[in-house]
Amino acid sequence: MGFVGRNRGCSSSPILSSSSSSSMVSLVFGLLILFSSQRFALVFALNYTKYKHVGSLRLARIQRHLDKINKPPVLTILSPDGDTIDCVHKRKQPALDHPLLKHHKIQREPPEMPKLKRMKVKEEEEEEVEKQQRGGNNNNNNNNNNNNNNNNNNNNNNNNVEVGILMKRAWQVWHQNGTRCPRGTVPIRRSTLHDVLRANSLYDFGRKKPTRLRLHRQIDAPDVISANGHEHAIAYTGSQGGEMYGAKATINVWDPSIEEVNEFSLSQIWVLSGSFDSDLNSIEAGWQVSPELYGDSRPRLFTYWTSDAYQATGCYNLLCAGFIQTNSRIAIGAAISPLSAFQGNQYDIAVLIWKDPKLGNWWMGFGDGILVGYWPTELFSHLGEHATMVEWGGEIVNTRANDEHTATQMGSGRFAGGGFGQASYFRNLEVVDSDNSLSSAQNVQTLAENTNCYDIHSSYTADWGTYFYYGGPGRNPNCS
């Protein structure tokens, strides 16, 4: 049997030894490298990696899988955070290994971008929403709805952006060294042996675990309540059977703490259709912190898809065949930087998912109109037509280690009542309709399974459209 030593948080090559002395030398060498890189040190509170005895047959299977998904690069870029980004020719990317895509030709024609449709809101309705938004603010400036409010008092219901706290767009860490992938290639985060060994099995690597749903859920509510430890704070629309062709939101980016290695915290958009207990089609994108998947506690841009309710199809990012990337500057699975700070500058990312009305592929947009790639329509059954529900919000996994609720945070780790600069937000929630137009989401409802652990508050303003604050610390005196 081979002996695999894994330095905590390190993504370098595995240490294989045939004797204890060589193992010790390799271990010491790895530790020296680790402690000499304090600038990019990972959070050590979690035991991300550990020693495992790995049989030679299993090691060979894992290596074959890695050879399949790590395509030969044209150029390799080493990111300051330890990631390896391979620039792979776009026609050699993993997506095209899918049996349904054997004859698929990468879409060269740019998709038709959704048009912006302005929704008119009655003045009296807008005034009422603004009154609800201001809540406990009893000063004489209740009609002043601009961004020049310098009053940084204890009014947690004030959702305006305060002077000195700026909103900015986040980018990716691997861009910091200035190297870019050549035209005609796509950046792919390289998977390592350690990445696979952190998963329960090779089959589970890069996959969400199937959700077992409780029978007492509301019929008209989104089918997210599960019995396997997943908890949510989400907004949703479309449960009445309406047809939707995409969704968009701008998502505040934080770095929530994760208590257990096999837990995660994410903030994302879901575009859904089908039955939640058998043939659910889901397209998902946003940011997540997942020590098990990535080996660290950094928030990362991610995608996910499934066509059978997370049973056998789909995966995160480019860890299986499916999603076709077209952009040479955005690496799915790469870390996002900079991040929001408590009562400091706020950073967010804009994510758009929509169905190209011409060819039927589901595209992903990032930031200000950047096309990342698409999920071919061949991958789906129900989403081959349209979506029936859209969800926005946060999700965590609660493993109840030591028989108590996890302290894994959602969003910023603070409850929605903290407001701007404290709680995490989704703003400008929009949906794409049948004529490929973007409009502010209507009839939005919210759901949180345990508001003592994580909660959500939604509202509307002219600048932020439909928006909400969400999140929480997890375990606390009222959440155990």
**Residue 185's beta-bridge partner residues?**
89
Element of type H or E holding 194: helix 193-198
Q: 277: how many CB neighbours lie within 10 A of its CB?
A: 12
Q: Which residues contact 153 (CB under 8 A, 6 or more apart)?
A: none
Q: Beta strand pairing status for 346-355 and 167-169? A: parallel
Instruction: Compute CA 252 distance to the chain's CA centroid, rounded to the nearest angstrom.
Output: 11
CA distances for 325 relative to 108, 138, 269, 354, angstroms: 12, 51, 19, 15
Starting from the edge strand earliest in sequence, which strands make up the sheet with 265-273, in order? 300-306, 281-289, 265-273, 389-397, 230-237, 445-448
Two structure tokens written together for 473: 């610390």
Specify whether the CB–CB gap between 388 and 271 falls below 8 A.
Answer: no
Least Cα distance to 314 among 343, 292, 291, 284 occurs for 284
Specify whether the CB–CB gap between 425 and 456 falls below 8 A.
Answer: no
Specify whether the CB–CB gap between 11 and 194 falls below 8 A.
Answer: yes
Report how far residue 54's alpha carbon sits from residue 1's, in angstroms, rounded to the nearest whole number: 6
Q: Which is catalytic among the residues 260, 284, 391, 430?
A: 284
395 is catalytic: yes
Two structure tokens written together for 164: 């000195």
Report how far residue 191's alpha carbon sits from residue 168's, in angstroms, rounded to the nearest whole number: 30
Two structure tokens written together for 433: 């309709």
Q: Which is catalytic among the residues 263, 292, 395, 430?
A: 395
Element of type H or E holding 29: helix 20-35
Q: Which residues contact 178 (CB under 8 A, 6 or more apart)?
A: none
- Sign of the torsion angle spanned by Cα atoms 179, 256, 291, 98: negative
Element of type H or E holding 52: strand 52-54
385 is catalytic: no
Q: Catalytic amino acids?
A: 284, 395
